Amino acid sequence: MDAFYASVELRDRPELRGKPVVVGGLGPRSVVLSATYEARAFGVRSAMPVGRARRLCPQAVFIPPRHGVYGEVSKEVMAIFRAVTPEVEPLSLDEAFLDVSGATRRLGTPRRIAELIRQQVREQQSITCSVGLAPVKFVAKIASARCKPDGLLVVPADGLLDFLHPLPVSALWGVGDKAEEVLGRLGLRTVGDIAHVPAATLRRELGAAGEHLHALAWGRDERPVTPRREEKSVGAEETFPTDVDDPDVVKKELLRLSGRTARALRASGCVARTVTVKLRLANFKTITRSRTLPEPTDVAREIYAAACALYEGSGLDSRARLRLVGVRATGLRPVSGAARQLAFDERPSGWREAEQAVDRIARRFGADAVRPAALFGSSQDGPAEAPSKTRDEPRILGNEPGV
């Protein structure tokens, strides 16, 4: 019994127990991301506009997804995990893999350790957490998902396949709508069905992912718990309150998103080599355009220049109606390892230093204290189209309920 998985559940907050809870964004075009059973009873469904959900179920508690304040709880919960073992791999704000093989001598059996964690999270944070325990990482995750809310489920090594095989194919990580459809066409409904079909068949239908699923179906997964995972990309995107066909508005938004992306880069101590622009049309067709820079950067001005050029050269009709734009920086490397060599005749532009100064002001006075002149009158954290967007902070600390 090596790894186990822990997940924290908002649903068990006493004040929310038994209430209809809807998780969704705050913008005018936000949709329902998840809803509790109680909310679903009113007809609330995922992907439904939040406004419609409100009309169907006005008494529901509406929670914005992944909003700021929850981060504090998350840090403290992760600290509880790390007191058990340094082998903690955070998966999201409220979930982590732990490898407890090194902690059993000190703290007892994995089951005992799981009970300890659940007790500490409950006492210190007044929230519950579910823990799945298994000798294989992904099985531990499935176990934690199946014992929530507020549960503990142990899958012993000799019971691995008995646990896995009756599960629906969608229980496996990596099986979403598309893969489930393909598997369904092959007549495969359960994990056991996947296990008993030749790996070559799965590879033909699903590529490398198919072979991976076959291994998972037999409980084979060599991936270890990796405490520090390097970020591969950072970015920002925003759906306009209404579709936009004005290139000036689009560029203004690109400027704002470039600023957010550059700030995130500087905060993580990275520079990026490639800039990608994402453009989603009114009909939901999405295109991306990317460009690799001669030198890596964390400067908003440089990211914006690339983003703008990509947008202008995207081949879209200049009056194309856009629903969403996004800016992402990839090809990250630590800033220290990429210290820029200035050529003899090159003078530092000073933009990087200027933006770092802005970072310091923002840390002290808030993100809105300084912003590019082009964004004057708008909020750095709201879409350019909606300068008066109210920053509805979540009233309830928490994350989406598992439903």
- Residue 202: strand pairing partners: none
List of residues 6+ apart from 183 with CB closer than 8 A: 169, 175, 189, 193, 194, 205
Contact between 382 and DNA (CB under 7 A)? no
What CA–CA distances, in Å, run from 146 to 28, 180, 325? 34, 19, 37
Q: Which is nearer to DNA, 135 or 326 (CB)?
A: 326
* Contact with DNA (CB under 7 A) among 63, 100, 175, 225: 175
66 binds DNA (CB under 7 A): yes
* Residue 239 interacts with DNA (CB under 7 A): yes or no: yes
DSSP structure string for 224-277: PP-S-----EEEEEEEEEEEE--HHHHHHHHHHHHHHHHHHHHHHTEEEEEEEE
Q: Using the minimum distance from each CB to DNA, give the nearer residue, 231 or 353.
A: 231
Q: Applying CB under 7 A, which of residues 14, 176, 187, 337 lies at the interface with DNA?
A: 176
For residue 126, is it left (φ>0), alpha (ψ between -120 and 50) or beta?
Answer: left
Joined together, the tokens standing for residue 348 give 């530092």
| DSSP-derived pairing of the beta strands 21-24 and 128-133 | unpaired
DSSP secondary structure code for residue 11 in this structure: G
Count, residues near DNA per rule CB under 7 A: 59
Question: Is residue 328 at the binding interface for DNA, with CB under 7 A as the rule?
Answer: yes
Residue of 19, 40, 42, 49 interacting with DNA (CB under 7 A): 49
Give 173 or 218: the residue with its C-beta nearer to DNA: 173
Is 94 marked as a binding-site residue? yes
Give the nearest distance from C-beta 83 to DNA in angstroms: 22
Closer by beta carbon to DNA, 103 or else 129: 129
Asked if omega into 372 is within 30° of 0 (cis), the reply is no
Catalytic residue list contains 95: yes
Per-position x/- string for 291-320, each x denoting binding to DNA as judged by CB under 7 A, each - no binding: xx----------------------------
Torsions phi, psi for 375 (to 5 deg): -100, 10
Which tokens belong to 189? 């409904």
State yes or no: residue 216 binds DNA (CB under 7 A).
no
Q: Which residues are catalytic?
A: 95
Per CB under 7 A, residues contacting DNA are 25, 27, 29-31, 33, 45, 47-49, 52, 65-66, 91-95, 141, 170, 172-180, 207-209, 231-239, 260, 264, 273-274, 284, 286-292, 323-324, 326, 328, 330-331
